[in-house]
Structure 1
C-alpha cells in the first residue's frame, strides 16, 4: 500500500452556511471585533469521547469562574460536573476507562512568575464518586474531603500524565516521574504503572539508560524508549515476551543526524510505523521490521513538498485512516464506511476542514468533529451516524464572525539564492493592493511557524487593515531536510535574507506599500525583528518585538542573577551546531548580535518582556533597551511583571495588542 498526497490550498468558499452559525452569502461585514474578542481565553477548547463513545468529557468554564470537568451521557444528554477545585482550574484530563477519568490542576489566572505548584494528579468516576488524589501538587497535598489517602502515600509532585491514552481497559495508567535538576534540566523520565482507584503503583519500568521519551504499544504497554547520553540519543525496543531491551540505533540528540527513523505508532498487530527521510528530502511513513531492522521498501504515506506530520487512525483491528498536514490538516480514510461518513459531514460543513475523532472501542453512534477554517475559529461538534445529525458542543471564539475575517493562503517566493520559501499571506477583507503590511516572524526558529487555519494574531492585524506576511524561512521544519539544514548557523544571515526577500516579493506583487512596512515577532521572531531593522533599514519603517533574543552569547552565558530553563545539553551540543559555536564562530556571533549593533537602529521600536521569562530572561530586554535608547528616542518599553515567555493572561494579551495597534497606526497606519 503506497499513497502519495499532493498539497492543496484551503481557500474557503464564501457561500453557504456554517452549521448553527453564520450565513456567508452576500452578508454585510459585521462590526469590527474588539481586541478582547481575539485574545481572551478560548471559551471552549476540547472534549474527549470515552473509550466506548457513550460519554463525553468536557472542560466547563465561564468568565470569572473556575474551569470544571463535566461528563455528558450522550444517550440522555445529561451533564454532571465531576471535577472542580476551589483554588484551581481543571488542567489536562483523560479517560482511564469508560467509567473513570484522571485530571490535573492548573490556574488560568496566574502567569508563569506566580505559578507555585506542579499540576498534581487526581482521579474520579464519571458519576462523581471514587475521587482520589494520586500525586502531590508541588509539595502541597491538597486533599479534599473526598480523599482518604494520607500524604505519605501520594506520588511526588513531579508526576505527569503521558500524552498517549493507553489501553483504557483497566483502572491502571502509566505516568511519568520526571527527574529534574532545575528549570528545563531533565535528567530522565521513569515510567510508573499506577492504579487510579487505590493510588498505589505497580512497579517502575526498567530503562536501558536516561530515558527522555516513552512510547506505548496499541495494548498500552511500554514498547519503545529513547535514552540520552550527552549529545547522543539511542532508541530501544522492549521485547513483549522477554521484556528485554534491544537497541535499534543511535542519532544526534539535537540535529537528528544519524537517525534512520523516528517512531510514530504501534499497530494492533504490533507493527511499528515510523517516519523516515529514507532516500528523500521529505520524510514519509514506513513500516519497520523489528527483527530485520529494515524499513519497508515503499512508504505508506508520502506528501509532496512536506515532511509527514500527523497521526495514524486505528480501530481495534487495523489501520483505518491517516491524518496528515500539508498546508492544512486533512484525513485520508482507508475504511470505506469512514470515507462515506467524512463525505457526508463535509457536505453539511462545506466551508471548513472537518476532522473526525473516533473512540477507542466504538460501541455507540457518536463521532467527535473538529471544524475550522482560516476565517472560522475552532468548533467542536458531535455527529450521530444513526440519525446523521450534527450537534454543536462548543466553540472557541463565539464572538468572532467569519464575515469579519480575512482569508489566508500559502504562497511561495524565491530567496536571492534560489531557495523556494513558503509563507502565509493574510489580506484584509477591504482590499488586497498597496496595503500597510506587518511581516510577522515566527519563533523557534527550528519549527514550523504556522498552518492553514484561524490565527488570532494574523486575523487581528488584518481586521485593522494590515496585510500580514509570515515567512517559513530556511531553518523552519516541515518543508524537507534541505530547507531545515539550510538554516543552520544562519541567524542574522541567510535566514534574515529570506525574510527581507519575502518582504520585497510582497512589494513587487503589489500587496504591500513599500513605505508602510513593519517587522514584528516574539522570541526568535523578536531577534529577527531587531536584525531586520539593522540589516534592512530602508525596508522596515518600524519594529515590534516581545520576548526577543538580543544576543546569542547571552543565551549561552546568561547571568548570575537570573534563571534560564535552556537545557545545558542544548547549549553544549545543540546550539554550537544549529546556532553557532561560541569559540569557532565568535566573529559571526558578534556581527549578528542586535545588542552589539543597537546604535544602528533608528526606526521606532516597541519592546516587551516578561519579568519571569526563563527562556529569554529579562536582561535580554533591559540590556538592549539601555543600549538602543542612547541613540534612538522612539523606543517604547513594556514589562509584564508576572509573565514568562509569552503572555498567558488575557488582560496582558489585550493590553499588549492594544499597544501594538496604536504603535502601528502611528507609524504605518492608513493616514501615512
Structure 2
C-alpha cells in the first residue's frame, strides 16, 4: 500500500507512493503524523511511480513510467514531473525542443537525476537523450518551469553521467559495442566543468575487473568493483595514477550491493550488503551511532534507515521480520520520540504469519548452496510443498517477508526457495557457476534442493507443485517437461518457454549482447543455438503430464507475452490440461493492484484444485 517513502530535507514532511483502488498516488504526511494528503495521482493501470526525490523542502520530483509498443515488443517509457508538496504547480520535466520529436524516440527517453545541486534549490542536473548528440546528454533543468540548458556535447557516446559533490559532471561511462572480440566499458573523466575529458579506465565485459563508479571526490573515485577480492566491494580509486587505492568496505562472504548516499546525494556515507537481511554499514561513527540506536529501539525487527533529514534529527526507519510485513517507523532524535507511521501491508498486521527458516545443503558436485523453507502454521501432518524458484536468474531470495510465500503458507503449503548457482550476492564463484547453465546445473540445483528436503521428512512429497515467475517460470516449465511424473501442477508467471527467442530479442540491444553470450549463449552460433533449443520447454510439451497455469501481463517489457502465448498454443495442440490468463495492462511484476489480486486468487484456486 505504501512504498518509496522519503523525508524532506528540513525533516518536516514524509512523501511516499500510495497504491489504492484509484491507482498510484503521491502523498505527503507531516513527520510523526498519520495524516495523509494526496499531492498527485497517475493513471490507473497505465502508469507506475518508480521513485520520489525531494529537490528542496517544498518541491518533489516524481519518476514515473508506462509501457509503449515498439518494434514488436513493449518497452518502458519514463517521465519526470515536479510538484509542490501541497499539490500545486505540477510540471512535466521535458525539454520543450523535444515535444515535436518522432514517437520512436520515446523508447530512448530514459531520464535520470545526475545531481540535486545542493547550492541551487531551483535546478537539478538531468541525463536525457539528445537527438543532436545521438546519445544521452546532461541538462540543467529548472524544476519550476522545465527550462532545459544543455551543459556540453556528448562526444564519446557516454550513456551514464556522474557528478561530484559540487554538482560538476566529472565522470562518464561509455559502452563500446564495436569491439569484435569483447564489448568494452570506457570510463571518461575530467577534473571540473572547464576541463577536457580524458580516458580514465577501460575494461572488457566479463573478462576483467568490474568497475562501477558511484561518486567522485576530488581526485578520488569511489567504485563498486570485484578487484582482487572476487566479490563486489567499495574501493577508493586514485584517478591520477589509475590505480585502486584501498578497500572502503567489503564483506568476507557477501557482495556489497550498493552505496549509501547522504540525503542530498552528494556524498557516499556507507555501504549496503545482504546476508539474510539488509545490512547498512556507515563510514562515519556518528552515522553508525544513529543506526545502532535505531536497531536498539526496534530490536524485535530487522531494521534499516530509509532516509533522514539533512541534520539527521528526523529518521525514517523500515522494520520487518520474516513473519511480519515491512512497516515504516519515525524517530525524532531531538524530541527523543519514536512511533509507527504506516505498514506496507496494513491488512496483514497482527495476523499469524509463517516463519521463514534458512538452510544450507551440498550438491552432488560439492557446491554449498543456501535457501529458505517456510512451513505453514498449525499444519496437521505433513503439508503439500510449493517449490518456488526465484527469477533473474541473476538475483537471489532473502529471509524477508514475501507476500507470495506468506500467501502460499497461509493456504497450508510449505514453501521451498533455493539460491541456486547463478544467484547474486554471494561472490563471483557462486554467480559465475551458473553461467550458461540454464536447464542444466541451475535446474539440477533446484531438484537437489527438493531431494534434500525429502530427507528432512517434513513435507508430503507426493503433493509437490512448482510455482515460478520470470526465470522461475522457466524452471517450473522445464521441471514439468523433465520430470513429468514428479509434480502435481505447474504455475508459470511471465515465464520463459523459448530460450532462443528470449536470446534473440535481448541480442537486439547492444548493451545486452555480452550478457546474453556469457550467461545464456550466442544466438548466432550453431552449437549454442542447438543447446538453447534443447533446454527450451516449448520443444517438449508432449512430455508434460501435469496441469499448467500460465499468467502473463500483456505489457510485460522483460519477458514478451509471446513466450506464454506460443507455449499455450503448443500445449493445446498436444491436448495438455493448461489455462492461460492475460492481463491487459499487466507488467512483468504484476504490480498493479487489480492484476495482483486477481493473480493471487487464480493461483490459489489452481493450487487448491491440484494439491488438496
Indicate the TM-score class for this superposition, using the shorter chain for normalisation.
0.7 to 0.9
Is it true that 1:648 corresponds to 2:591 in the alignment?
Answer: yes
Is it true that 1:370 corresponds to 2:318 in the alignment?
Answer: yes
Cα distance per residue 1:107-163 (max 9 Å; x no partner): 89x99999999554333444556554432899989xxxxxxxxx9xxx989655525
TM-score with structure 2 setting the length: 0.86
Quote the residue 1:580 is aligned against.
521
Shift of 1:481: 0.9
Quote the residue 2:22 is aligned against.
64
The 5 Å alignment of 1:333-412 reads: 333-359=282-308, 361-362=310-311, 365-412=313-360
- Change in Cα spacing, 1:553 to 1:133, as seen in structure 2 (3 Å) is closer
- In 1: Cα distance, 2:437 partner to 2:162 partner: 34
The 5 Å alignment of 1:64-83 reads: 64=22, 67-70=25-28, 72=30, 74=31, 82-83=39-40
Is it true that 1:122 corresponds to 2:48 in the alignment?
Answer: no
Quote the residue 1:331 is aligned against.
280
The 5 Å alignment of 1:179-578 reads: 188-230=135-177, 231-240=183-192, 242-253=194-205, 255=206, 257-267=207-217, 271-297=220-246, 299-314=247-262, 321-359=270-308, 361-362=310-311, 365-431=313-379, 434-445=382-393, 447-557=394-504, 567-569=508-510, 572-578=513-519
For these two proteins, the number of residue pairs brought into alignment is 596
- In 2: Cα distance, 1:278 partner to 1:434 partner: 47
Deviates more, 1:215-224 or 1:126-135: 126-135
Q: In the alignment, which of 87, 98, 110 is matched to residue 57 of structure 2? A: 98
TM-score with structure 1 setting the length: 0.79
Question: What SS class does the counterpart of residue 608 from structure 1 fall into?
Answer: strand
- Change in Cα spacing, 1:137 to 1:665, as seen in structure 2 (3 Å) is farther
- In 2: Cα distance, 1:589 partner to 1:213 partner: 32
- In 1: Cα distance, 2:554 partner to 2:48 partner: 26
- In 2: Cα distance, 1:77 partner to 1:378 partner: 17
Indicate conservation of the 8 Å contact 1:359/1:367, yes or no.
Answer: yes
Question: What SS class does the counterpart of residue 345 from structure 1 fall into?
Answer: helix
Indicate conservation of the 8 Å contact 1:209/1:228, yes or no.
Answer: no
Q: In the alignment, which of 121, 129, 146 is matched to residue 178 of structure 1? A: 129
Quote the residue 1:626 is aligned against.
569
Shift of 1:553: 1.9
Indicate conservation of the 8 Å contact 2:168/2:193, yes or no.
Answer: no
Shift of 1:570: 5.4
- Change in Cα spacing, 1:460 to 1:80, as seen in structure 2 (3 Å) is closer
Question: What SS class does the counterpart of residue 629 from structure 1 fall into?
Answer: helix
The 5 Å alignment of 1:585-604 reads: 585-604=528-547
Higher strand residue share: 2
- In 2: Cα distance, 1:631 partner to 1:86 partner: 41
The higher relative CO (CA closer than 8 Å, separation ≥ 6) is in: 1
Q: In the alignment, which of 638, 650, 660 is matched to residue 581 of structure 2? A: 638
Q: Where in structure 1 are there 5+ consecutive unaligned residues?
A: 1-41, 142-150, 181-185, 558-563
Indicate conservation of the 8 Å contact 1:212/1:226, yes or no.
Answer: yes
Q: Where in structure 2 are there 5+ consecutive unaligned residues?
A: 178-182
- Change in Cα spacing, 1:657 to 1:344, as seen in structure 2 (3 Å) is same
Quote the residue 2:180 is aligned against.
none
Shift of 1:493: 0.8
Shift of 1:482: 1.2
Deviates more, 1:200-209 or 1:302-311: 200-209
